[in-house]
Amino acid sequence: MAILTRLTRTPATSWLSLRKQLFSSPRRHAALIRRGMASGHPETTRLDFLVIGGGSGGLAGARRASELGASAAVIESHRLGGTCVNVGCVPKKVMWNAAVHAEYLHDHSDYGFEVGSVRFSWEALKAKRDAYISHLNRIYHNNLDKAKVQNIQGHARFTNDPEPTVEVNGRKYTAPHILIATGGQPTVLSNADIPGGNLGITSDGFFELETLPKRTVIVGAGYIAVEMAGILSTLGSKTSMIIRQSGVLRNFDSFISTNCTKELQNSGVDLWKNSQVKSVCKAEGGLEVTVVTKDPERKNDEEKTSTIQEVDCLLWAIGREPNTSGLNVAAAGLEMDERGHIVVDEFQNTSRPGIYAVGDVCGKALLTPVAIAAGRKLAHRLFEGKKDSKLDYSSIPTVVFSHPPIGTVGLTEEEAIRARGKENVKVYKTSFTPMYHAITSRKSQCIMKLVCEGKEEKVVGLHMQGLGCDEMLQGFAVAIKMGATKADFDKTVAIHPTSSEEFVTMR
């Protein structure tokens, strides 16, 4: 036990070399563990780094810590990979790819191809998608084994022990450094919230659908609702979106919000603006969704009640919540915000020394690469002595896989004006038809905006929607992270003919 105590207190700069000396053989490592277990805590396993949650952030942090010489373990109750791999980014992108294929089918004749009847099989796509996800799950398991990170299957729960400890399947685990990376989950409505609310599914349930719904109603206006609506509608489901206000993606730049709302409507999505679901009930032909609509601009008008009938898929996409249920965070004494997220500082420290949190459970920048980067930065700080290692949360690029896709990085025009004043903000924007659509009957616009700040016109925001914007964003995000100005964009020679050249030719 004394050896273990000295190990955890050794300066991080010599962590790797010391571990090689102490744990040069499996027998010596096991002896150290048994000695720790025998000195007053026979049921407790001790490690250097204990991670709760086998999603993107937790796995990245654990593997990097192990590379740096720490003994690490990951506790996960479900499949490895978390939301992103199992019910998020990855399977969603597969479905979006399929929807893009469906879009291109409409353009074949315009490009000279004569195609006959084309049949889409949701069942075949789902089988291939699920097999791919299972393959990724196996890769994650193998990667943990290769990195010598222990995989503990089960639910973790903090105990009331003096030092931070969790219990899994009746066994206790502790470490000088414990990372919470449990992610988030979709907000679920019950019958108490809305009569019949439990008749709907969430984005998790979307990936369990065995067949393509004929009639879909999606409730919500965020990026998950937009992506789900685009996929289902494009693949052939008659789709309605119920949104509380007049547009979708209200937290994005207004230029993007307005255009995305228009693109959804142009693609055939039935948009119910200024509306809310009042109740849901089962009927012979499917679900009946009762909707209340009231235009805020017409204050004297009464609420209008309507019913959408024969609905076979009602999808709630109304937000996400931190996944802390059953974790017993109260026993750990962690500070939480009003929505239940774990409060952390810029170094991912919680209010309890030795306990950290990364990813969606913190409620900030809910993106897979953010959790991965934060987990790795934390590992370098704890086990490599890089005391200033932390993630910079500014100018994080993100893509919405709508139809067409959206790319955005940095401040919106509205945010820039609030931060610097309207007189210090200059905006450049354009809207055009991409060359791909020059000869197609189906049309889709591409819009672009640069938000610049100060006399030097530093580019602090870049926003776009159109064909290829998803793959276009990463390079521009690097330039903005490096502090590029409008003049730097102007000095760059355009690539012709592309949509991206518009960003370096704006006036």
CA 347 to mean position of chain CA atoms: 20
The CA-atom distances, in angstroms, between 347 and each of 61, 97, 340, 443 are 14, 37, 19, 47
0.75 surpassed by pTM = yes
At residue 336, the 3 state secondary structure works out as strand
Given a contact cutoff of 8 angstroms between Cβ atoms, the answer to whether 212 and 235 are in contact is yes
Helix (H) or strand (E) holding 324: none
Paired tokens of 496: 């012709």
Q: What are the pLDDT tens digits along the chain (507 aa)? A: 333 333 343 444 445 454 544 444 333 343 334 434 444 444 799 999 999 999 999 999 999 999 999 999 999 999 999 999 999 999 999 999 999 999 999 999 999 999 888 999 999 999 999 999 999 999 999 999 999 999 999 999 999 999 999 999 999 999 999 999 999 999 999 999 999 999 999 999 999 999 999 999 999 999 999 999 999 999 999 999 999 999 999 999 999 999 999 999 999 999 999 999 999 999 999 999 999 999 888 877 889 999 999 999 999 999 999 999 999 999 999 999 999 999 999 999 999 999 999 999 999 999 999 999 999 999 999 999 999 999 999 999 999 999 999 999 999 999 999 999 999 999 999 999 999 999 999 999 999 999 999 999 999 999 999 999 999 999 999 999 999 999 999 999 999 999 999 999 999
* Three-class secondary structure assignment of 172-228: EEECCEEEECCCEEECCCCCCCCCCHHHCECHHHHCCCCCCCCEEEEECCCHHHHHH
**Annotated active-site positions, please?**
496
Q: How many CB atoms lie within 10 A of CB 370?
A: 21
Length of the chain: 507
Rounded CA-CA distance 418/218 in Å is 33
Q: What is the pLDDT of residue 295?
A: 86
**402-423: per-residue pLDDT in tens?**
999 999 999 999 999 999 999 9
**187-235: per-residue pLDDT in tens?**
999 999 999 999 999 999 999 999 999 999 999 999 999 999 999 999 9
